[in-house]
Amino acid sequence: MTRFVDVPALTQLLQRKGVAPFMKDLADCLREDFLRWEDFDKSARVASHSEVGVIELMPVADDRLFAFKYVNGHPRNTAAGLPTVMAFGVLADVATGVPRLLSELTILTAIRTAAMSALAARRLARAQSRVMAIIGNGAQSEFQAIAFRDLVGIRELRLFDVDAAATAKLAANLVGQGLKVTICSGTADAVRGADIVTTLTADKQLATIITPAMIEPGMHLNAVGGDCPGKTELDRGVLEGAAVFVEYEPQSRIEGEIQQMAADFEVTEFWRVLTGEKPGRTSAAQVTVFDSVGFALEDFSALHFARDAAAELDIGSIIELVPRSTDPKNLFGALGIEAPAGAARKVPTPAGANLAHFG
């Protein structure tokens, strides 16, 4: 049997648990899974690129569970009233291959991305960070704001988007959330005085949203929008002057901010910071960058966390995604299709059988 968590079911789950507590618990789950990084069979995502976007599959597994996510990225979708990102995922038993969960992952991806960003910032940003700039105020932005409020301690947001309506939407959604919100006139204005800068732009282009002139000592950059080949947000000079941390280096070299850099440009996989193998921030003045492209292990965490939460609260439905039969070898028989009326049923005779005694 497979539990099915669609958008209404996930909405019910989030309403029952609360978005902020759900995100905090998911961040703990992410940390636990990243701490056992070497237990996982990992690979970069498989991507099919077109002129208008990308469709990807993101697989990962440990010795018990296999997970994959189907996800797209089509920046022009908003003109047609569609999300730029849509996703679903599957969680299956390694031992049998039986799918145990089929879940929406559009909303869940936004939540796990924000939780991962905040988890990284807790190690990489200055401990007393209270002001964050959000550049790009689309679908991800509210989740990032809530995650950084609750997990990092952010109390003030400085917002900018080239689409003023997106900024107005974000500001309206954050009313009553305990955050001081300032709408800014441009990127340079927004990042001025910020402890943390989160970039969430959607355009598929080699952009330089953040330049070296905007960087202040001690700043932490949470670069989320650059997540495929040919798509960046940071000037390469920003990377050259910072300590850069990534999720899975082979994937980030292809599609992260570091796609701009030479192959020997030094980066640190974040799991090494969590285990204590490598340092995170080493001084108050150091500039740090979390070059986040989204990695399949984060979806693995989100899926098994959602599965357990949904099962606990009995949310979602149980579907028969796999046929059931008393004879697993008789797949056709499981269909229950009757022979046409009047048709003779002839059973084939094994080769070499002696039929003489049948007369």
Alpha-carbon span 58 to 72, nearest angstrom:
11
Contact 120, 245 (CB under 8 A): yes
264 is catalytic: no
Contact 55, 47 (CB under 8 A): yes
Q: Hey, what are 274's tokens?
A: 């969590």
Q: Which of 150, 227, 235, 291 is catalytic?
A: 227
Contact 191, 212 (CB under 8 A): no
Q: Hey, what are 311's tokens?
A: 């099962």
Only one residue has tokens 């280096």, namely 249
Contact 57, 69 (CB under 8 A): yes
Burial of 236 (0-12, 13-18, 19+ CB in 10 A): middle
Contact 107, 299 (CB under 8 A): no
SS3 state at 212 = helix
Percent of the chain that is helix, strand, coil (3-state, to 5): 35, 25, 40
Contact 223, 294 (CB under 8 A): no
How many Cβ atoms sit within 10 Å of the Cβ of residue 229?
15
| Residue 284, H or E segment | none
Alpha-carbon span 156 to 145, nearest angstrom:
9
Q: Comparing C-alpha atoms, which of 166, 163, 156 is closest to residue 191?
A: 156
Distance, C-alpha 5 to centroid of its chain: 17
Q: Comparing C-alpha atoms, which of 4, 16, 103 is closest to residue 313?
A: 16
For 349, which DSSP code? Answer: P
Contact 149, 336 (CB under 8 A): no
List residues with catalytic annotation. 227
